[in-house]
Structure 1
Amino acid sequence: MECTRCGACCVAPDIAALDKPLGMRCPHLSEENLCTVYDRRPSVCRSYQADEVCRLIEAPTLDERVQKYLELFELGAEAATLRQKGCTSMRQARGAL
C-alpha cells in the first residue's frame, strides 16, 4: 500500500524516540502533514510502512483519522486521559497513568 501522507502515524501512536506521547501531534509534523525532519527522522519512523491500518482509519480529517486509530487499538480512553492531564512527553505520560 502506498503512503497517503495523512499524518495519522505522526499523531496517534506514541513515538519513544521522539518522546512523543500517545495521541499527541509530533512536533515535527507540518501543517501540511509532512515531516519537517524527514532526512533525520528516527529509525522507527523510517521503518514504518503503510498497511491495512491506513485503509481502516481513512477519514476526511486528521482528527477523525487519529480518533479511528485510537479506537481501533482501544486506546481512546488512555489518550483522552493524557490530553486531559496535559502530558506533552512520554515521561510525563508514564507518570500520569
Structure 2
Amino acid sequence: MECTRCGACCVAPDIAALDKPLGLRCPHLTADNLCSVYDRRPQVCRDYQADAVCRLIEAPTLEERVRKYLDLFGLSDEAESVRQSGCSSMRKARPG
C-alpha cells in the first residue's frame, strides 16, 4: 500500500525517539501534514510502512483518522488522559 501522507501515524501513536506522547501531534508535523524533519527523521519513522491499518482508519479528516486509530487499538482513554493532562513529553505522560 502506498502512503497517502495523511499524517495519522505522526499523531496517533507515541514515538519514543521523539518523546512524543500518544494521541498528540508530532511537533515536526507541518500544517499540511508533512514532516518538517523528513531528511533527519528517526529510524522508527523511516521504517514505518503504510499497511492495512491505514485503510482501516481512512476518513475525511486527520482528527477522524486519529480517533479511528486510537479506537482500533483500544487507546482512546489513554490518549484522552494524556491530552487532558497537557503532557508534551511521552516520558511524563507514561505512568510509573
TM-score interval (norm. to shorter): over 0.9
Query: Which amino acid is 2:23 matched to?
Result: G
Tell me the residue number matched to 1:35: 35
Percent of aligned pairs sharing the same letter: 77
Q: CA RMSD in A?
A: 0.9
The aligned counterpart of 2:69 is 69
The gaps in structure 1 that reach 5 residues or longer are none
Are 1:45 and 2:45 matched, yes or no?
A: yes
In structure 2, C-alpha distance between the alignment counterparts of 1:36 and 1:66, rounded to whole Å: 20
Partner of 2:94, secondary structure, is helix
Aligned residues: 96
User: What's the CA shift for 1:92?
Assistant: 1.2
Which blocks of at least 5 consecutive residues in structure 2 are unaligned?
A: none
Structure 1 moving runs of 4+ over 6 Å: none
Within 1, Cα distance between the matches of 2:70 and 2:20?
A: 15
Aligned to 2:7: 7
Q: Structure 1 length as normaliser, TM-score? A: 0.96
